Homo-oligomer: A and B are copies of this chain.
Amino acid sequence: MVEVQDIDIKTAFGEERLGWTGYVEWEQYPEKKALASKVLKANKFTPIPEFQFVPIPKTNPVLIGHRWKEYHNVLGLQGIVDFSWETVQREKPDLIHLLDFPYNGETRREQIMEGKITDNNVRNHGGVPDINEDVFELEIAGLVNKPVKISLKDLKDPTKFPQSEVTVTLQCSGTRRIEQINEYPGDGDELINAPWGEGAIGTAVYRGVPLKKVLKLACGGVLPECEHLEFIGADTYFKKNNVFNYAVSAPLRKVRASSGTEVLLAWEMNGKPLPKMHGAPLRVVVAGYIGARSCKWVYKINALKEPSMGPVQRQEYLYFTPQIGKQNAKYSNGFPIGNMPVSSAIIFPLDKQTIVHSGKITMQGWAYSGGGNWVQRVEGRCGTAVEEEDMTTKYYHAWRLWKIDLPVDAEGWLELCVRTWDSSNNTEPTFVRSAWNWDLHVTSSAHRIKVYSINTSRPATAKRLQELEEHGQGIHTQSLSYPAEFTLEPEAEYLEQYRKFPREPAC
């Protein structure tokens, strides 16, 4: 039996595949997995961050991924950590960095609304692999007629495999999780729960080949027992002191659907080569599903009878009903998250924003439904529908951006709310608490924000704003709570009012 102190960490977990730098294939090497487990068990790591009990810092990166960095470090894989952060800086410097490692980054609000397409947000589960495309091969094994290895060059050759382009929204199941965190201070017990907001979603045009075609043309089809296709990624995944390659699956039924464009092997995004952050040289794009199924850096596909038994899908991306939690959660009583339900978000105005207007507030955001449903109707405050012309084009698998001018007469704190219906007439739960779940996935309730309305079409308000301005205390130069140094009402005016309308009845 190998003792931990005898392991030469520097050489123990070397590259097994041609063209991989600093990356490890685990799944073919049970002895390496066992050795890594032994090393992990022999070490102590920084406890998980309990940021859900304290305010989230305003730093960027917001959270530091101490624990996963340490996991890599004790296995001699510090190079992965360094390369990942270098790649973020090179490819995506302007995101909101929610967690530096494994990298989680959210699109800035302005960028979300710039156009219908955005390639920004990123949720990774491990380091960013450094893979040489020229020697890269995709392996297909398991319940297929002919197991094969296909070079990336062949895969990209349109004379060998017919190519497709699809417009797809990929959504993290953690989108808008911050609302669930704020609702209750407790949390699921298996996750690095990045405190995502409304920007953990993105839409892009992907180019690649349908997996359906590859299975048929390269492997001569699947065996009759095959019901699921498992995707294995080059990134290393950690769970309870065990190591894995990232692994998830999609049902054969979905791979085969219509023209096969629901499950694509993609190398191009918005007309450009896929960035490393997004899975280069090759990624899976599973349309309509949770982003986590769209495996990045895919190097192997297994045709299986049952869904992937990897921890990502079986143990982590589970949706628990509100009665299940620390006291009774099991892997088998959570619902695996595949198709995403209808959801939406207000991007502008910002939550808690003070809005000075003269009777109308413009609200904009996104609306999306998974599973091939498209967005049918978006409702602003009090049921006012967004006009069709104020929504972007319909796609089977992508969001619609929307915009609405809400008539607002009232002043003070108001709730703005958006609610969406999809093409199956699904609509969103009313409140966050209506569908709070232990693992804090899928925050799809009607999105609500609070804004402070100041309506300058009211004369008393216009007058006060002018007074504040004259005293250098304009609404936007200080917080609302900053005291006015001048008197709000001269004594004579007050007395005039008091005597005209006394506080108490006369008799």
Contacts and interface: CB of A to CB of B under 8 A. Distances in A.
B240 A323 contact: no
A323 B412 contact: yes
Main secondary structure of the interface of A (DSSP, over half): loop
Copies held by the complex: 2
A134 interface: no
A491 B322 CA distance: 24
A372 interface: no
A485 interface: yes
B413 A328 contact: no
A57 to B, nearest CB: 12
Given A332-B489, A498-B332, A325 B484 contact: no
A156 interface: no
Contact of A487 (B240, B332, B494): B240
Interface string A471-501: 0000100011111110111010110011000
Contacts of A504: 227, 251, 253
A83 interface: no
A352 B184 CA distance: 7
A187 B481 CA distance: 5
Given A412-B322, A489-B331, A190 B483 contact: yes
Given A488-B330, A493-B332, A482 B189 contact: yes
Interface band, chain A: 35 or more
Given A55-B54, A412-B322, A436-B413, A186 B480 contact: yes
A327 interface: yes
Contacts of A307: 503
A307 B53 CA distance: 47
Among A189, A410, A461, residue most surrounded by chain B Cβ atoms (within 10 Å): A189
A410 to B, nearest CB: 6
A221 interface: no
Contacts of A481: 48, 50, 52-53, 186-189
A379 to B, nearest CB: 20
Interface stretch (A106-114, A211-219, A381-389, A452-460): A452-460
A306 interface: yes
Interface in A104-148: none
Contacts of A326: 454, 464, 468, 475, 480, 484
